[in-house]
Amino acid sequence: MKNKPIVEEKSIFEHVSDDGRIHDKIPMADLPAAYVRNDIEGMPDPAEPEVVRHFTRLSYMNYSLDAGMYPLGSCTMKYNPKLMEKAAQYEGFLMLHPMMEQSTTQGILKLIYDTEQYLKMITGMDSFSLQLAAGAHGELAGMLITAKYHRVNKTNKHTILIPDTAHGTNPASASMAGFKVVNIPSGPHGMIEAGMIRPYVNDDTAGIMLTIPNTLGIFEEQIADIAKLIHDAGGLVYVDGANFNALIGKARYSDMGVDIVHLNLHKTFATPHGSGGPGAGVVGVSSFLKEFLPVPVVERKDREFVMSCDLKNTIGRMVGFYGNVGIIVRAYTYMRMLGLDGAKEVSEAAVLNANYIRAVLKNYYNLPYATPTLHEVVFDDKFQNGDGVKTIDIAKRLIDYGFHPPTVYFPLIVHGAIMIEPTETESKDELDRFISAMKSIADEIKHNPEVVINAPHTTPVKRVDEVRAAREPRLVWKR
């Protein structure tokens, strides 16, 4: 075990409640009555050292990318180089106001424009909107584009095909855009085969949503044949490119027959993804769909950059201004720092790291699919079931070894899934530490399963009742 047991930290309210140091009343005579809080009585009144020490102790309990790897599959918790943070905090970017005249914001407009050009080059798509605020936001924009395209062309198509290996938000995005979702089961090799979807394609088919690479980390080898089937039926091919860090500089979505793709700048290009944001789920389209992109888009007119809303069939605005510009600045810096050759190395390292883990751990944890994988690998708990240990126990035990657990129980098509994505940023030493912990846990399960079943042992809070926490959240402390 890598961590020492941590004493449970009381809330700041409880720290000072014993000796009664609370605010009875705070004078606010200078404030208008409408701005005076009526609930201040009973608030704690700790000394400054108590406050500082309390939050410092809480920080010791946190896990961060500065402390260790996040082996989260399909979430790409990449290390965020400090240079990216520095770039985003340049005063010229940081002090911009979204209502400033465009003549005074040429620098950021050029950066957004150039970022689009780089994305077009590495994906092969013809146009991008960079304003989407998250991956699921990008998915929704892609489906809204699909819906409006069919409305404009009066096709009356209303179904979207979605494989069971797609990201979980895909069906929700399609449904929110007004489509009926048709679930397509994947084949025995963890891929969608063209022959398998043929019976589902008909006059109602508006398009298909594919995740490439999919949530098993597997490349959809028959994407070109699938795209032809959909196009022949008059539908559009949408790809969830959240796992694009496996393909940068290696493959272009346009060459696969893709019409719409969303990328996660916050996953692929520096900024770590977590807690629902911040993000930038940019959307790229083929030339015939440019007029449907959300507005405004940044265009170059002579020597000036402008934000234009002049798109004939735009789906409108998706955000108030232009999205999470700070994320775009980080992504731009990352791309410029890497260059095309460096971007290729990103993919190579991401795939190598995942396959190194796969090769070593496949003798300790069951590999449900033998198909070669790219940037992530999915195991399950089949080997451990006989000893009464489940995936959640393995995840909790990893905490005792000083690691953040991987994604568990996703994708849903793998029972007891253990989804590991090390990304390209982890060294072999760090991977070996993680592998050693996983091997030790496998050995513990054979010889002392109780220590795993009852994990974690080194945290102030043990097993959280997640169901109850979701149904009965306590968001406010009460005396």
- Give the C-alpha distances (Å, rounded to integers) separating 38 from 33, 42, 422, 478: 10, 11, 50, 16
- Across 388-400, average pLDDT: 96
Q: In this predicted structure, what is the pLDDT of residue 220?
A: 96
φ, ψ dihedrals at 419, nearest 5°: -105, 115
Q: Please return the burial class of 57, using the count of CB atoms within 10 Å of its CB with bins 0-12, 13-18 and 19+.
A: middle
Q: Domain boundaries in the chain?
A: 12-60, 82-337, 348-469
| Alpha-carbon gap, residue 403 to 439, rounded angstroms | 13
Between residues 79 and 154, which one has the greater pLDDT?
A: 154
The token pair that represents 157 in the structure block: 């198509």
| Alpha-carbon gap, residue 338 to 53, rounded angstroms | 40
DSSP tag of 167: -
Strands 377-379 and 418-420: antiparallel
What pLDDT, in 10s, does the model give residues 15-51? 665 555 555 555 556 778 777 766 655 667 778 888 8
User: Per mean pLDDT, which range of 159-163, 230-234, 382-386 is the poorest?
Assistant: 382-386
Contacts for 291 with CB less than 8 Å, ≥ 6 apart: 311, 312, 313, 314
SS3 378: strand
Name the class of domain 82-337. Answer: alpha beta
- Across 201-209, average pLDDT: 97
Give the count of beta carbons closer than 10 Å to the beta carbon of residue 159.
20
Same fold, 82-337 and 348-469: no
Mean pLDDT, the chain, rounded, equals 90
Q: In this predicted structure, what is the pLDDT of residue 240?
A: 95
- Please provide the distance, in angstroms rounded to a whole number, between the alpha carbons at the two ends of the chain: 37
Q: In this predicted structure, what is the pLDDT of residue 14?
A: 72
Is the per-residue pLDDT at 367 higher than 60?
yes
**CA-based torsion, 154, 155, 159, 163: positive or negative:** negative
User: Per mean pLDDT, which range of 42-46, 216-220, 448-452 is the poorest?
Assistant: 42-46
Rg (CA), the chain: 25
Query: Where residue 477 falls among pLDDT bands split at 50, 70, 90?
Result: low
Nearest C-alpha neighbor of 225 from the set 248, 249, 240, 208: 208
Q: In this predicted structure, what is the pLDDT of residue 50?
A: 85
In this structure, whether the domain defined by 348-469 belongs to CATH 3.90.1150.10 is answered with yes
- Across 289-294, average pLDDT: 98
What pLDDT, in 10s, does the model give residues 59-101? 888 888 888 888 988 776 788 888 998 999 999 998 999 899 9
What pLDDT, in 10s, does the model give residues 158-168? 999 999 999 88
Q: In this predicted structure, what is the pLDDT of residue 40?
A: 58
Contacts for 91 with CB less than 8 Å, ≥ 6 apart: none
- Across 441-470, average pLDDT: 92
Nearest C-alpha neighbor of 106 from the set 292, 304, 271: 304
Q: In this predicted structure, what is the pLDDT of residue 317?
A: 94
Is the per-residue pLDDT at 321 higher than 60?
yes
Helices and strands (H and E) in the chain: how many: 16, 12
SS3 297: strand
CB 273 within 8 A of CB 76: yes
Q: Percent of the chain scored above 70 by pLDDT? A: 92
Nearest C-alpha neighbor of 331 from the set 279, 394, 371: 279
Q: In this predicted structure, what is the pLDDT of residue 1?
A: 45
CA angle (402, 213, 111) in 5-degree steps: 85
DSSP tag of 421: -
User: Per mean pLDDT, which range of 65-79, 141-155, 195-209 is the poorest?
Assistant: 65-79
Contacts for 71 with CB less than 8 Å, ≥ 6 apart: 403, 404, 405, 406, 420, 421, 422, 434
| Alpha-carbon gap, residue 381 to 392, rounded angstroms | 9
Q: In this predicted structure, what is the pLDDT of residue 34?
A: 78
SS3 84: helix
**CA-based torsion, 38, 41, 42, 48: positive or negative:** positive
Give the count of beta carbons closer than 10 Å to the beta carbon of residue 77.
22
Contacts for 395 with CB less than 8 Å, ≥ 6 apart: 405, 406, 408, 418
